[in-house]
Amino acid sequence: MQQIKEKLLQALEAAKTSKSAEALEKIRIDFLGRKGSITTLAKNADFSKMSVEEKKGFGQRLNELKNFANEQLKAAAEALESVAVRHKTNDLDLTAPGKGRRLGALHPITLAQMELEDIFQGMGFSVLYGPEVESEHYCFESVNIPHDHPARDMQDTFWLKNQLILRTHTSANQVRTLERFGAPIRAIFPGRCFRYESIDPSHENTFYQCEGLVVDKDISVANLIAVMKTILSQVFRRDVRVRLRPGYFPFVEPGFELDLNCLFCGGKGCPTCGDGWIELIPCGLVHPQVLRFGGVDPREYSGFAFGVGLTRLAMMKYGIRDIRYLNCGDLRVNEQFSVLM
Binding site for ligand DAH (CB under 6 A): 169, 171, 211, 249, 252, 282-284, 305-307
The residue among 211 and 259 lying less far from ligand DAH, judged by its C-beta, is: 211
Q: Where are the beta strands (DSSP E) in the chain?
A: 126-127, 133-134, 165-166, 185-194, 206-216, 242-246, 252-261, 277-286, 302-309
The residue among 38 and 145 lying less far from ligand DAH, judged by its C-beta, is: 145
Return all residues near 79 (Cβ < 8 A) that are at least 6 apart: 16
Given a contact cutoff of 8 angstroms between Cβ atoms, the answer to whether 209 and 190 are in contact is yes
The residue among 73 and 112 lying less far from ligand DAH, judged by its C-beta, is: 112
Q: How far is the CB of 176 from ligand DAH (least distance, A)?
A: 14
Say which DSSP state 159 is in.
B
Residues in the chain: 341
The residue among 191 and 307 lying less far from ligand DAH, judged by its C-beta, is: 307
The residue among 120 and 249 lying less far from ligand DAH, judged by its C-beta, is: 249
Q: How far is the CB of 279 from ligand DAH (least distance, A)?
A: 12
Residue type for position 14: A
SS3 state at 139: helix
SS3 state at 163: coil
The residue among 171 and 302 lying less far from ligand DAH, judged by its C-beta, is: 171
Return all residues near 311 (Cβ < 8 A) that are at least 6 apart: 109, 204, 207, 208, 209, 323, 326
Q: How far is the CB of 327 from ligand DAH (least distance, A)?
A: 18
**CA–CA separation, 309 vs 311, rounded Å?**
6
Burial of 151 (0-12, 13-18, 19+ CB in 10 A): middle
Residue type for position 226: A
The residue among 194 and 337 lying less far from ligand DAH, judged by its C-beta, is: 194
**CA–CA separation, 176 vs 143, rounded Å?**
10
The residue among 169 and 312 lying less far from ligand DAH, judged by its C-beta, is: 169
Q: How far is the CB of 158 from ligand DAH (least distance, A)?
A: 15
Q: How far is the CB of 262 from ligand DAH (least distance, A)?
A: 21
Q: How far is the CB of 116 from ligand DAH (least distance, A)?
A: 14
Q: How far is the CB of 196 from ligand DAH (least distance, A)?
A: 14
Q: How far is the CB of 187 from ligand DAH (least distance, A)?
A: 12
Q: How far is the CB of 307 from ligand DAH (least distance, A)?
A: 3
What region does 276 belong to: left with phi over 0, alpha with psi -120 to 50, or beta? left
In 10 A of CB 178, how many CB atoms? 25
Given a contact cutoff of 8 angstroms between Cβ atoms, the answer to whether 116 and 308 are in contact is yes
Helix (H) or strand (E) holding 11: helix 2-18
The residue among 108 and 212 lying less far from ligand DAH, judged by its C-beta, is: 212
